[in-house]
């Protein structure tokens, strides 16, 4: 039997199309298998990365240190201001002297007794209240251990005895104490209660 040219051409085209489909199927299978092979590796990489993250210690956040005016023993640091009632007090300087100058022009020397030195304390006091405050020098008590020392009453404009401070005004004053000659300033604190019956006294360091 003779086959027509049209049928031959039709069979040829069908064969070519069939070969193309088989090729595409083969390529698709290889791509799928390669993807399947690659997948476990990526999973392993992810797992190892997570394991490394777990191995690393967690970084703790360090809170910033708060500034404070108090020392470890609760005293107020030298040169720092503390509020007690309506008053704000700051110790500005301290010294141990063998004599102090008195008189209008400061020409007279006042000497302590034998075995005694003068502790000269300078301070700034501010009235933060709404009324005038009358402050006596007896409000400032020097403490050495358990012993208390009251200020000397020296009649001179340079030394603080009794003073009235109006609201929003400050006073720079000086008080003098007689203390043992062997005293070291680091041993001394100044106790000040401020204003108000319920105000708890605070200890101020003088160095």
Give the model confidence (pLDDT) of 161-200 as tens digits: 888 999 999 999 999 999 999 999 999 999 997 776 667 8
The reply to whether 85 and 182 lie within a common domain is yes
Q: What is the pTM of this model?
A: 0.64
d(CA 179, CA 116): 6
Q: Which domain holds residue 4?
A: 1-40
Percentage of the chain modeled with pLDDT above 70: 61
The reply to whether 134 and 183 lie within a common domain is yes
Q: Is residue 48 part of a domain?
A: no
The reply to whether 92 and 158 lie within a common domain is yes
* Token code pair at residue 105: 């022009």
d(CA 77, CA 81): 8
CATH code: domain of residue 199: 2.60.40.1240
Starting at the edge strand found earlier in the chain, the sheet holding 170-180 runs 81-84, 87-97, 116-127, 170-180
The reply to whether 1 and 85 lie within a common domain is no
Q: Is residue 87 part of a domain?
A: yes
Give the model confidence (pLDDT) of 52-74 as tens digits: 555 555 666 666 655 566 665 57
Better-scored residue on pLDDT, 120 or 45? 120
Whether the per-residue pLDDT at 2 is higher than 50: the answer is: no
Residue 128: per-residue pLDDT: 94
Q: How many domains does the chain have?
A: 2
The reply to whether 123 and 24 lie within a common domain is no
């Amino acid at each position: 039997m003779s086959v027509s040219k049209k049928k031959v051409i039709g069979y040829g085209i069908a064969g070519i199309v069939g070969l193309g489909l088989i090729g595409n199927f083969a390529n698709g299978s290889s791509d799928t298998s390669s993807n399947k092979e690659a997948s476990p590796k990526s999973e392993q990489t992810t797992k190892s990365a997570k394991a490394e993250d777990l191995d690393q210690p967690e970084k703790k956040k360090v809170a910033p240190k708060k500034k404070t005016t108090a020392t470890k023993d609760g005293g107020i640091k030298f040169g720092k201001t503390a509020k007690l009632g309506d008053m704000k007090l700051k110790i500005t300087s301290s010294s141990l002297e063998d004599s102090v100058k008195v008189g209008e022009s400061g020409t007279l020397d006042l000497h302590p007794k034998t075995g005694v030195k003068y502790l000269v304390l300078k301070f700034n006091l501010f009235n933060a209240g709404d009324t005038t405050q009358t402050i006596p020098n007896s409000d400032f008590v020097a403490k050495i251990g358990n012993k208390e020392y009251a200020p000397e009453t020296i009649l001179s404009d340079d030394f603080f005895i009794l003073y009235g401070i109006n609201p929003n005004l400050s006073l720079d004053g000086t008080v003098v104490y007689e203390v043992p000659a062997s005293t070291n300033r680091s041993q001394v604190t100044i106790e000040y209660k401020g204003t108000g019956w319920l105000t708890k006294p605070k200890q101020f360091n003088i160095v």
